[in-house]
C-alpha cells in the first residue's frame, strides 16, 4: 500500500513538473514572438520616420520650385497640399486593402513563424 502511495505521489510530482515546464515554455515562446514582432515593427517605424523627414524636405523644395514657376511661392504650397489631399482621399478609400491587411498579415506571419 505504501509503495502504491509513493508511485501516485511521484506521478503527481511529475505531472506538476510537466505543467510548470509547459507554462514556462509557453511564456518564453510568447516573449520571443512578442520581441520579434515589436523589434520588426520598431525597425520599420524607424525607416518610415527617416523617409518621412526626407519627404518633408523634398516637399518643401518642390513647393517652392512650383511656386516660382507659377509666379507666387504660396501657389506651390497650394498645389502640393492639393496633391496630398487627393492622396489622403485615396488612402482613406483603400486603407483596409493597403494598410490593414498587410500589417495584419505581417504580424500573423511573425507570430506563427517557427524559430
Alpha-carbon gap, residue 88 to 82, rounded angstroms: 10
- The DSSP element (H or E) to which 78 belongs, if any, is helix 73-93
Percent of the chain with pLDDT over 90: 61
Give the mean pLDDT of 71-84: 95
- pLDDT tens sequence across 22-48: 999 999 988 988 888 889 889 999 999
| CA angle (46, 47, 50) in 5-degree steps | 90
Name the residue with higher pLDDT: 104 or 70: 70
Residue 86 in grid coordinates: 487627393
Percent of the chain with pLDDT over 70: 97
- pLDDT tens sequence across 81-109: 999 999 999 999 998 898 888 888 888 88
Name the residue with higher pLDDT: 80 or 110: 80
The full set of domain ranges for the chain reads: 2-112
Amino acid at each position: 500500500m505504501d509503495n502504491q502511495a509513493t508511485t501516485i505521489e511521484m506521478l503527481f510530482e511529475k505531472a506538476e513538473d510537466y505543467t510548470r515546464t509547459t507554462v514556462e515554455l509557453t511564456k518564453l515562446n510568447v516573449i520571443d514572438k512578442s520581441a520579434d514582432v515589436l523589434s520588426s515593427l520598431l525597425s520599420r517605424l524607424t525607416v518610415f520616420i527617416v523617409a518621412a523627414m526626407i519627404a518633408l524636405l523634398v516637399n518643401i523644395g518642390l513647393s517652392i520650385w512650383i511656386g516660382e514657376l507659377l509666379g507666387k511661392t504660396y501657389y506651390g504650397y497650394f498645389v502640393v497640399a492639393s496633391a496630398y489631399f487627393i492622396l489622403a482621399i485615396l488612402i482613406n478609400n483603400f486603407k483596409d486593402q493597403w494598410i490593414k491587411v498587410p500589417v495584419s498579415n505581417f504580424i500573423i506571419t511573425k507570430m506563427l513563424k517557427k524559430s
